[in-house]
């Protein structure tokens, strides 16, 4: 197997012995799991949040003890052995590879296929994601991860094997797509330039960016400040969008009420293949905290829970 474009910088055994070294290496460049974030095809993390992590301004959440991650790591060898059993292709463990030409390009390779110019990525997934894997389907983040690995290693093929819900196994062959790799390289190159120059990517409206900003700026400075013209432009857009949202919400509510009037006491209705429900629900059971505090102060104090401070944005 020819891997002249990259070199091994951290073996699997060394990574297992020194997990902190593995984490440190991840922030020294761009890895496979970063690829989909950078191209904007990741539902869990935004480019801005990733940029904060890579520049050391935000410490990534340690998810190593999370159940899905734990079982993904624990079952990796099982998934790899099953791949060999079903495909007849033997594999060997690898480690973290680094591009010779571009040192910021990293690939944490699960397995290399023996006797073939190919690699293997091992995954576990919950049963709710099974539709994403049906037929030729593949979750977008994993597609970009495989293309990234082929970009770093120069290999023409990457297999991906998955155990879904602990009982459904499948594997797929992902061919190298040079057009997508050219696109991916440019996006990653531009992103890494932003990391080195401390230039943030554009802010977006994702939940990831919202949470990242809360972590980056915890607040505490209470003196009023004058904001620049850029903020005034953003405020104008917010005001206009809120007015439009109010108008659209009114249209939606009116049409909902029309359907409710037609349904009357019927709780379930259909229009073609669409199902519509207007069901009775049990009233919520709530605690009268004022009464509890007054009549049972000790119980109130014992059950009180202080939430983590947060910042509320209002305009």
What secondary structure, in 3-state letters, does 84-132 show?
A: HHHHCCCEEEEEEEEECCCCCEEEEEEEEECCCCEEEEEEEECHHHHHH
Query: Is 306 within a domain?
Result: no
Angle, helix 67-74 to helix 76-87, in steps of 10 degrees:
50
* Residue 67 domain flag: yes
Neighbours of 173 (CB within 10 A): 11
**176 three-class SS:** coil
Give the per-residue pLDDT at 23. 79
3-class DSSP state of 173: strand
The whole-model pTM stands at 0.86
User: CA 19 → CA 12, 22, 62, 169, distances in Å?
Assistant: 10, 5, 12, 29
Rounded to the nearest integer, the mean pLDDT of the chain is: 94
The total domain count for the chain is 1
Q: Give the pLDDT score at 312.
A: 83
What CATH number does the domain containing 84 carry?
A: 3.90.320.10
CA atoms within 13 A on the CB side of 292: 11
DSSP 173-208: EEE--HHHHHHHHHHHHHHHHHHHHT-PPPP---HH
User: How much is the pLDDT for 146?
Assistant: 98
For the cut 90, the answer to whether the pLDDT of residue 256 exceeds it is yes
Distance of alpha carbon 28 from alpha carbon 33, whole angstroms: 14
Residue 255 resides in a domain: no
Residues 6+ apart with CB under 8 A from 134: none
Distance from first CA to last CA of the chain, Å, rounded?
60
In this predicted structure, the answer to whether residue 103 has a pLDDT above a threshold of 90 is yes
Q: Indicate the Cα dihedral angle 53, 59, 62, 63, nearest 10°.
A: -40
Give percent of the chain above pLDDT 70. 100
Domain range for 146: 6-214
Tens digits of residue pLDDT in 130-183: 999 998 899 999 999 999 999 999 999 999 999 999 999 999 999 999 999 999
Residue 16's pLDDT is 81
In a domain, 295, yes or no: no
Q: Is residue 207 situated within a structural domain?
A: yes
Q: Is residue 271 part of a domain?
A: no
Q: Is residue 144 part of a domain?
A: yes
Q: Do the domain assignments include residue 273?
A: no
> What does the pLDDT read at residue 1?
66
């Amino acid at each position: 197997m020819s891997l002249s474009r990259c070199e091994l910088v951290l073996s699997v055994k060394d990574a297992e012995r020194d997990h902190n070294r593995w984490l440190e290496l991840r922030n020294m460049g761009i890895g496979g799991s970063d690829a989909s974030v950078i191209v904007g095809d990741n539902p869990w993390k935004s480019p801005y949040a990733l940029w904060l992590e890579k520049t050391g301004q935000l410490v990534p959440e340690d998810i190593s003890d999370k159940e899905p991650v734990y079982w993904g790591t624990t079952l990796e060898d099982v998934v790899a052995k099953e791949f060999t059993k079903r495909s007849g292709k033997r594999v060997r463990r690898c480690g973290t590879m680094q591009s010779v030409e571009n040192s910021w390009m990293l690939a944490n390779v699960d397995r290399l296929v023996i006797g073939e110019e190919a690699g293997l990525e091992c995954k576990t997934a919950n049963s709710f994601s099974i539709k994403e894997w049906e037929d030729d389907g593949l979750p977008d983040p994993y597609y970009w991860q495989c293309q990234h690995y082929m970009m770093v290693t120069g290999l023409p093929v990457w297999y991906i094997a998955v155990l879904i819900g602990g009982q459904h196994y499948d594997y797929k062959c992902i061919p190298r797509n040079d057009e997508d790799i050219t696109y991916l390289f440019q996006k990653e190159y531009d992103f890494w330039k932003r990391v080195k120059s401390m230039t943030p990517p554009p802010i977006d409206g994702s939940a990831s960016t919202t949470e990242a900003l809360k972590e980056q700026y915890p607040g505490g400075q209470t003196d009023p400040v004058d904001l620049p013209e850029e903020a005034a432009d953003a405020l104008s857009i917010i005001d206009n969008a809120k007015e439009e949202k109010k108008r659209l919400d009114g249209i939606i509510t009116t049409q909902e009420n029309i359907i409710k009037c037609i349904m009357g006491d019927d709780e379930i209705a259909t229009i073609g293949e669409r199902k519509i429900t207007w069901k009775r629900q049990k009233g919520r059971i709530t605690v009268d905290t004022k009464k509890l505090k007054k009549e049972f102060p000790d119980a109130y104090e014992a059950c009180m829970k202080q939430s983590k401070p947060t910042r509320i944005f209002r305009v």
